[in-house]
Structure formats: structure tokens, C-alpha cells
Amino acid sequence: MKKLTILLLFLLLPSTSVLANITPLPLPKTKGQPVGQILLHTTQEGDTLASLARYYGVSPILLMAANPDQDLLLLKPGQEVIIPNQLLLPNADTKGIVINLAELRLYYYPEDGSDVYVFPIGIGRVGRSTPEMTTSISQMRKDPTWTPTTTTRREYEEMGKPLPAVVPAGPDNPLGEYAMRLAYGRGEYLIHGTNAPLDVGLRSSAGCIRMYPEHVEWLFAQVARGVQVQIVNQALKVSTDEYGQTFIESHEPLTPEGLADETPLDMSTLTPLIERGANQELIEQIIGHRQGMPQVVGQLP
């Protein structure tokens, strides 16, 4: 994780302006199976890590995890990049909005129950982490103003960027053009756009959930006040379908302190699978690599 953090500083390099397509992933007919598919992108002149992440709607961290032997910061034409667009659904209600902090993804389940939309997000940085919660949208705001907290104002002042008491709507507003306030706590957490798209897919906010401008505009049009929002932190996702196939998907654990390399994943949920014949060696390999893509670890009776 320390290596990834250093490398991601280079995301400030110019990137091509390519916007993502917003397409649904059909929910599997058999519960427990992965959704989506692994894609392979052949790079062209001008491709960057940031542009691929935005076009395919995948966090830069997940792209790097899926391509551990690739240099994604210095892409060359003809390079083949794995796009990890296959995934297991988080262990949460398949309704409204579900956010899994560990994989830096937001899931939206429309009311018809046939599809799911998946988006990359930015979340709270170390020391300002986004809390887990089950809540709802309490307020919808287009062209929102932003009232920085005392802590945020102090942080900006230390950077030599003093803030007004209220930041008006416009290009200098970090909330972007759309914001959805959550009912949790004092209402200090929002799902919103951003005027800094390179922060999407990273731990970069003061606790809010950031989305690309085109994604939050679309989501804002789909939801309303009262829609349920679940925020979970599941670095290890496990599922078994009706045929006994068991899948595991492993991500870097996220902690408030940011000590991912020193934080072991909770293996307790895997003990029954191993006892029933799942491949323990393969399970340990998947967990160790933490590439963020589901893999079959056994056909259980």
C-alpha cells in the first residue's frame, strides 16, 4: 500500500479527457455468482492511468492491483491492461445505494431489481475516514454551496489557501454541481461531485463520498430523499452459488490509520469453506495478492 500511495502522486500528470459510459450490470440469475466481466484494454497514444480509470469507471488503485506486473504510470501504445470489471456484490441489502469503502465503489440498485450500476468513488483520507453506516438521503441539492468546518478551514489556511465562511456554487466549490446529504450524524456526510476528478478513486476527502461529475449527475436524477444508503467496509468478499461454486474477492484492507500492509484480513468466514473442501492454498494466494477480482476456490458439496 505504501508503494501504491507514492505512485498515485503521479496521477496529477495530464490525462486524456474521456468520459465513462454509464451502463448497468445485469444481476446474476443464480445468487452468489459474480456480476460483470474482466476486460482487456490495448492502450493507445495518450492513454493514462487516470483516463482509463475514468473511462471504465474503476478506481486507479484497483487498476494497479489488477495489473501488479505492469507500469500503469508510463503507459505505452500496445500495452494490454486488465480492467477488473467483474466483482462480487457486497454483503448488504440489494436496494438503494451501497458503498464498499475497501473497494472504493458505489453500487446503485434500481427499484426494478434487475440490474446494478457500479461507480468508483473517493472516500475519507487517513484521519478523516468515512464511517460505516446504514442511513438514507436526507437532502438533494443542485449547485450546492459549501460551508467548511473549522478543521477544514484550518487545514486550508495551513496550505496558504484561506476559505470564505461559505463557498458559493461554481468551479471553486469542491462539492461540484450535485450533492446528496446523508441523514447520519449531524448531516456532515454527503455523496457529491467534485471539481478535482483526479481525487475520485482515492482516499482524498474529509469524509464525504466523491464521484465523477458525469456519474453524480446521473445518480442524482435516479434517487430521491429517503433512499437507503449502506456504507460497509468489506475487504474480503465471499459467495457460494446454488451449484456449490465458491468465489473469493480480496482487496487491501482500509483502516482509519491507513495501515493496510499491517492489517490481516479476517479469515474466520473461510474456515467452514476450507473444512468443506475449498482449496486452502488457492485461498491464501488470492488473499495475499489482493488483486480485487473474484476467483473460484472450489466446488463445495
Q: Which residues contact 272 (CB under 8 A, 6 or more apart)?
A: none
Please, are residues 221 and 276 in contact by the beta-carbon 8 Å criterion? no
Q: Can you give the pLDDT at residue 231?
A: 97
Q: Can you give the pLDDT at residue 195?
A: 93
pLDDT tens-digit map of 61-71 = 999 999 999 99
Q: Can you give the pLDDT at residue 4?
A: 37
pLDDT tens-digit map of 134-174 = 999 999 999 999 988 888 888 888 888 888 889 999 998 99
d(C-alpha 187, C-alpha 200), whole Å: 22
Q: Can you give the pLDDT at residue 197?
A: 93
Q: Which residues contact 104 (CB under 8 A, 6 or more apart)?
A: 59, 61, 62, 120, 121, 122, 123, 201, 202
Fold observed for domain 2-232: L,D-transpeptidase catalytic domain-like (2.40.440)
Residues 81-94: what's their mean pLDDT? Answer: 96
Q: Can you give the pLDDT at residue 265?
A: 58
Percent of the chain with pLDDT over 70: 89
Indicate whether 95 pLDDT > 90: yes
CATH 2.40.440.10 residue spans of the chain? 2-232
Q: How confident is the model at residue 9 (pLDDT cuts 50, 70, 90)?
A: very low
Indicate whether 120 pLDDT > 70: yes
d(C-alpha 48, C-alpha 44), whole Å: 9
Q: What is the overall mean pLDDT for the chain?
A: 87
Least confident of 12-16, 105-109, 270-274: 12-16
Q: Can you give the pLDDT at residue 164?
A: 87
Percent of the chain with pLDDT over 90: 66
Indicate whether 12 pLDDT > 80: no
Q: Can you give the pLDDT at residue 17?
A: 42
Q: How confident is the model at residue 258 (pLDDT cuts 50, 70, 90)?
A: low
Neighbours of 135 (CB within 10 A): 17
What 8-state DSSP symbol labels residue 103? G
Whether the CA torsion 214, 215, 221, 224 is positive or negative: it is: negative
Residues 184-207: what's their mean pLDDT? Answer: 93
Q: Which residues are catalytic?
A: 192, 208
Q: Can you give the pLDDT at residue 6?
A: 31
Task: Say if residue 250 is exposed, middle or buried (CB neighbours under 10 Å; 0-12, 13-18, 19+).
Answer: buried
pLDDT tens-digit map of 16-43 = 344 557 889 999 988 999 999 999 999 9
Written as one letter, the residue type at 11 is L
**Alpha carbon of 38 to those of 10, 66, 291, 292: distances in Å?**
26, 10, 12, 11
pLDDT tens-digit map of 163-185 = 888 999 999 899 999 999 999 99
pLDDT tens-digit map of 271-298 = 878 887 888 889 889 988 999 999 999 8
As a whole number of Å, the end-to-end CA separation of the chain is 37
Indicate whether 126 pLDDT > 90: no
Q: Which residues contact 266 (CB under 8 A, 6 or more apart)?
A: 236
pLDDT tens-digit map of 209-238 = 999 999 999 999 999 999 999 999 999 999
Q: How confident is the model at residue 8 (pLDDT cuts 50, 70, 90)?
A: very low
